Amino acid sequence: MEFTAGLIPLETAMEQMLSRIVPVTESESIPLLKACGRITSHPVTSPIDVPGFDNSAMDGYAVRLQDLASGTALPVAGKAFAGQPFDGEWPEGTCIRIMTGAPVPQGTDAVVMQEEATVTESGVRFNEEVKNGQNVRLRGEDIRQGGNVLPAGKKLTAAELPLIASLGIPEVAVLRKVRAAVFSTGDELQLPGTPLGDGQIYDTNRLAVHIMLEQLGCDVIDLGIIHDDPEALRAAFIEADSQADVVISSGGVSVGEADYTKQLLEELGEVGFWKLAIKPGKPFAFGRLTNSWFCGLPGNPVSAALTFYQLVQPLLARLSGEQGNALPPRQRARTVGRLKKSPGRLDFQRGIMRRGEDGQLEVLSTGHQGSHIFSSFSQANCFIVLERERGHVEAGDWVEVEPFNHLFGG
Ligand code: AMP
Ligand code: MG
């Protein structure tokens, strides 16, 4: 693929990237309790009808309409509980006491809820008109045996897994997890817990990426901190590529003298693009290694986390085989204060959205928007997305906001 020299718009970058990604295909069968967050590899079909038998939707009385015609009270001839069906003879002119979920006795036309019945000495009287089929849940009404319950490519959560359990299925076929390798680059980086030398800082990006990868359901291969040394970096690239579907590094993608990432990507694979018209996050490299995809995040921690969120997250979703991933929702809000912005790049400022006194959505900036101010993520609950050609925004102007998802506590 051709190397693109200018700044490329985010949408173009996303399209280029996502159109090339082919989802993983290997499948495994795992217990439901282990399957939260995994993606179905095959459609789930039902081996049974749900409900499995006609049953009562209410606590009340099972009746036959012809027994009600005379209007006389009906003696109770037996009881049906959930898990304990009535299986005796049901004499004409009587009713059966029945509880919610109990199979309705053979011949039942309707169930009358107990609130609409009066118990007298001679039997039960029914106050309201009784309609055929009322309060009876029919076999197969929810799901038919053999019917499709879930498509392939569905992410399994507490909305889907209990449904599978209700079919009596103990295991589900899912796609294997995406394997993602991560490393940080920089001679200045140090591990938290060790003292800092002159000019050193603590490595924050690898933790950010590692955590988000886990939250997105990946198997993480963490290769640690790699020095700004072409040999060490080459070895890390090769090691990561041999183990992962996607390799994510941070730092070294700018144009400084110790920025070797792009050079190595050209040598070991191909560069798709590496300069985006977004802020923060301009130096984001995407490309291909021998076995894996490569994403080179910028070194500045805000830029690294933001480009991971906006670009790597959808890439991983595509790679994971998840289907039907919509773009994240955005809303319009009035800005409370002035926002600094120069035309030329799509800007993702960190904002706090809230309902104003007039009930309308409003948003305020977290303050300093520098790409080293990581605390802005923790204060914020949304991105303020400012269009590429827009300049400064005045207080009271309308802007687009994108609420944070679970990666940032949304
Ligand atoms: P680079 O892209 O390598 O030139 O890095 C840009 C800026 O981000 C520099 O100030 C680096 O010190 C800083 N930086 C790079 N990697 C990390 C990291 N893993 N954690 C925190 N800061 C970093
Ligand atoms: Mg560096």
Residues 91 and 108: their CA atoms lie apart, in Å, by: 12
Q: Is residue 60 part of a domain?
A: yes
Question: What percent of the chain is modeled with pLDDT above 90?
Answer: 93
The verdict on 282 and 193 lying in the same domain is yes
Q: Is the pLDDT of residue 4 over 80?
A: no
The finding on whether 251 has its CB within 6 A of some atom of ligand 1 is: yes
What mean pLDDT do residues 207-236 have?
Answer: 97
Q: Is 241 within the bounds of a domain? A: yes
Contact by Cβ (8 Å): 254, 283: yes
Choose which residue among 300, 306, 372, 377 to substitute to test ligand 1 binding: the one with the highest number of ligand atoms within 8 A of its C-beta: 300
Establish whether residue 351 lines the binding site of ligand 1, counting it when its CB lies within 6 angstroms of any ligand atom.
no
CATH code for the domain of 133: 2.170.190.11
Residue 202 lies in a domain: yes
Q: Which of 201, 284, 372, 375 to mutate to test the pocket of ligand 1 (most atoms within 8 A of CB)?
A: 201
Residues 184 and 308 placed together within one structural domain of the fold: yes
327 band by pLDDT with thresholds 50, 70 and 90: confident
Tell me, in angstroms, the distance from the centre of ligand 2 to residue 111's CA.
Answer: 73
Q: Is the same domain home to 93 and 183?
A: no
| Cα-Cα-Cα-Cα dihedral sign, residues 114, 115, 117, 123 | positive
Give the integer Cα–Cα distance in Å for 232 and 224. Answer: 12
Reply yes or no on whether the pLDDT at 106 is more than 50. yes
Are residues 191 and 297 both part of a single domain?
yes
Number of domains in the chain: 4
Domain-located, residue 5: no
Per residue in 340-360, pLDDT (tens digit) is 999 999 999 999 999 999 999
Say yes or no: 181 and 311 in one domain.
yes
Of the bound ligands, which one is closest to the alpha carbon of residue 274?
A: 1
Helices (H) and strands (E) counted in the chain, each on its own, are 9, 26
The string of pLDDT tens digits covering residues 15-54 is 999 999 999 999 999 999 999 999 999 999 999 999 999 9
Q: Is 197 exposed, middle or buried (0-12, 13-18, 19+ CB in 10 A)?
A: exposed
Pocket of ligand 1 contains residue 300 by CB under 6 Å: yes
Q: Whose CA is nearest to atom 5 of ligand 1?
A: 299
Neighbours of ion ligand 2 (CB under 5 A): 186, 251-252, 299
Q: What is the mean pLDDT of the chain?
A: 95
Domain assignment present for 325: no
Q: What is the DSSP string of 255-314?
A: SSTT--HHHHHHHHSEEEE--BSEES----EEEE-SSSEEEEE-SSHHHHHHHIIIIIHH
Ligand nearest, relative to CA of residue 258: 2
Residues 274 and 184 in one domain: yes
CA–CA separation, 296 and 53 (whole Å)? 57
pLDDT at 325 over 80: no
State in Å: Cα 197 to ligand 2 middle.
Answer: 16
SS3 175: strand
Instruction: Look at residue 286 and tell me if it is in a domain.
Output: yes
Amino acid 48: pLDDT: 97
Q: What is the pLDDT of residues 171-199, one digit of tens each?
A: 999 999 999 999 999 999 999 999 999 99
Which residue has a Cα nearest atom 6 of ligand 1?
299
User: How high is the pLDDT of residue 8?
Assistant: 94
Q: Which atom of ligand 1 is nearest to the CA of 250?
A: 16
pLDDT value at 218 more than 80? yes
Residues 169 and 183 in one domain: no
Q: pLDDT of 275-297, one tens digit each?
A: 999 999 899 999 999 999 999 99
Is 4 within the bounds of a domain?
no
Domain end residue (candidates: 320, 343, 359): 320
Tell whether 83 and 64 lie within a shared domain: yes
Please indicate, yes or no, whether residues 251 and 316 belong to a single structural domain of this protein: yes
Q: What integer pLDDT is reported at residue 167 of this predicted model? A: 95
Residue 3 pLDDT grade (very low, low, confident, very high; cuts 50, 70, 90): very low
Last residue of a domain, one of 155, 175, 195: 175
CATH number, residue 151: 3.90.105.10
- The answer on 335 and 380 residing in a single domain is yes
pLDDT given for residue 256 in this prediction: 82
267 lies in the same domain as 338 = no
**Maximum Cα–Cα distance across the chain:** 98
Query: Is the CB of 256 inside a 6 Å radius of any atom of ligand 1?
Result: yes
Asked if omega into 51 is within 30° of 0 (cis), the reply is yes
Which is it for strands 117-120 and 123-126: parallel, antiparallel or unpaired?
Answer: antiparallel
CATH of the domain at 348: 2.40.340.10
Residues spanned by the domain of 75: 55-137
239-255 core/surface letters (b: 16 or more CB in 10 A; e: else): bbbeebbbbbbbbbbbe
Asked which of 137, 165, 192 is the last residue of a domain, the reply is 137
Residue 364 shares a structural domain with residue 312: no
**Closest to 209 measured CA to CA, from 242, 160, 250:** 250
Residue 128 has what pLDDT?
85
For residue 203, the ligand closest to its alpha carbon is 1
What separation in Å is there between the alpha carbon of 268 and the centre of ligand 1? 23
Q: Does residue 296 form part of some domain?
A: yes
- 254 Cβ below 6 A of ligand 1: yes
